Amino acid sequence: MSFASLGLSDALVRAVNAHGYTTPTPIQAKAIPAVLAGGDLLAGAQTGTGKTAGFVLPMLQRLSTNDALAIGGRGSHRPLRALILTPTRELAAQVEESVRVYGKFLKLTSMVVFGGVGINPQTAQLKRGVDILVATPGRLLDHHGQGNLDLSRIEIFVLDEADRMLDMGFIRDIKRVLALLPRKRQNLLFSATFSDEIKTLADSLLDRPAMIEVAPRNATVDIIQQKIHPVDRDRKRELLAKLIGGNDWRQVLVFTRTKHGANKLAEQLGHDGIRALAIHGNKSQGARTRALAEFKEGGLPVLVATDIAARGIDIDQLPHVINYDLPNVPEDYVHRIGRTGRAGATGEAISLVCVDEHEFLRDIERLLKRQIPQEVIAGFEPDPRARPQPILQRQGRGQPQGQQRRSPSAGHRGMGQARGTPAAHGLHVGNKSRHAPAASPPRHGARNGTSTRTHAPRSTSGLRSGTRD
């Protein structure tokens, strides 16, 4: 199968081939014809499988095909015709870059808007007119509130990484954006994972959509080699430095649980003679952009990131992802390791796991439906007498800052909270509305007959972690 056989124009096929791609991925092979047909679409695929091109290419095709009609009514101002909403700045920049790369032989214009940078240059460009806008929710609503853009002529609306949108608590902003769009439009919802919350959102947003899922829910790319290195909590940094320095790794993405942890680890690695920079929500956009660019180009050996900042890192040949801290939400593990093994390349995902994180690991393996191989590094054997300690939760999942997740040493079980869903907020889209089902009761019962923990609920209440994008 070729891109031309999917019905794409010569200009788009030429741009794709110039970018080095000749054969569509499974998600592209299914999504492109579905979008070209003009209906709504709900699509899910493993991260790193070409999901962005799956909606950008047919979107460009449809807009360019209808361009003559659009130009006839433009006058001196180009109406905004397509909107792509993403959860993070980095992902927005990446998607808009794809729009420019694949649309290089077309006359369509695009731009990206997000927070953390000055709004005036964005305002000036918006007022000149643009066909395709890629945006984060907060900055998009800022521009609309200032009268800088008109969403009433949107033909195609794309909600990208919808699962992360819900994780970050953007449901209220999504609802506000949807209320500004025309009723007649094509809606495309793309997500790395399909949760029940995503299906509830899709039911409210989409009209008789085609549904595509090219991989099992929350599956990890098979080509990624996953490994666990058990280690004591106070020797993680030493082991990390040994792995990177001893193996002369040149491009390593390291995940930490908190912003402070990312800063501290990057500084400590510098003391070990390993150059590293941290990116997270508290860093300026300029610092994040520079660090990411240097890392992509291979000049920065180690990039230390939190989950939010790392969404949007797209490097075809990224060889190593390391979980310095295991995530407390199992789905985040899937997103993290999906930064490697992209576009058919091999990749390695290593997790440094201490006794405090054994329950996190069990949750991840339960999600994956298999055990991850473990290898103890000589000289870093964990102390069998070590006892787990409580781990501070990160903000943004529905719990107050500083709330602790009980580890097995806690001696009692916290009450598990039902995971929130978009339905609980009564989504209203046009004349559609969905009402919330009864909330699930708290989960009780001890694990392994001794102790248990409080599950972190996924927040969709509109409270977001970090700074407003």
Q: What's residue 123's pLDDT?
A: 94
Q: What's residue 221's pLDDT?
A: 58
Q: What's residue 137's pLDDT?
A: 94
Burial of 366 (0-12, 13-18, 19+ CB in 10 A): exposed
Q: What's residue 438's pLDDT?
A: 38
- 419 contact partners, CB below 8 Å, separation of at least 6: 197, 440, 455, 457, 458
Among 228, 227, 236, 225, residue whose Cα is nearest residue 358: 228
Task: Tell me the domains of the chain and their CATH numbers.
Answer: 4-213 (3.40.50.300), 224-368 (3.40.50.300)
Among 250, 225, 214, residue whose Cα is nearest residue 47: 214
β pairing state of 432-433 and 428-429: antiparallel
Determine the residue type at 111: M
Among 421, 417, 406, residue whose Cα is nearest residue 444: 417
- Residue 103: phi and psi, rounded to 5, are -100, 20
pLDDT tens per residue across span 167-217: 778 889 999 999 999 999 999 998 877 777 888 888 889 999 999 887 655
Q: What is the DSSP code string of 376-389?
A: PPTT-PPPTT----
3-state secondary structure 196-239: HHHHHHHHHHCCCCEEEECCCCCCCCCCEEEEEEECCHHHHHHH
- Residue 415: phi and psi, rounded to 5, are -70, 125
Determine the residue type at 265: L
* pLDDT tens, N- to C-terminus, the chain (469 residues): 889 999 999 999 999 999 888 889 888 999 999 999 999 999 987 666 788 999 999 999 999 987 644 444 444 467 999 999 998 888 898 899 999 999 999 999 999 999 888 899 999 999 999 999 999 999 999 999 999 999 999 999 999 988 888 877 888 999 999 999 999 999 999 887 777 788 888 888 999 999 988 765 555 556 789 999 999 999 999 999 999 999 999 899 999 999 999 999 999 999 999 999 998 878 887 888 888 889 888 899 999 998 776 665 666 678 899 999 999 888 788 878 877 765 556 689 999 999 999 999 999 999 888 999 999 999 999 999 999 998 865 444 333 333 334 333 333 323 233 333 333 333 333 334 333 333 333 333 333 333 333 333 333 333 333 334 4
Neighbours of 450 (CB within 10 A): 11
Q: What's residue 268's pLDDT?
A: 95
- 312 contact partners, CB below 8 Å, separation of at least 6: 86, 88, 89, 90, 91, 92, 93, 94
Q: Give the CB-side neighbour count of residue 50, counting CA atoms within 13 A.
A: 22
pLDDT tens per residue across span 119-137: 999 999 999 999 999 999 9
Q: What's residue 396's pLDDT?
A: 41
Q: What's residue 342's pLDDT?
A: 58
pTM greater than 0.85: no
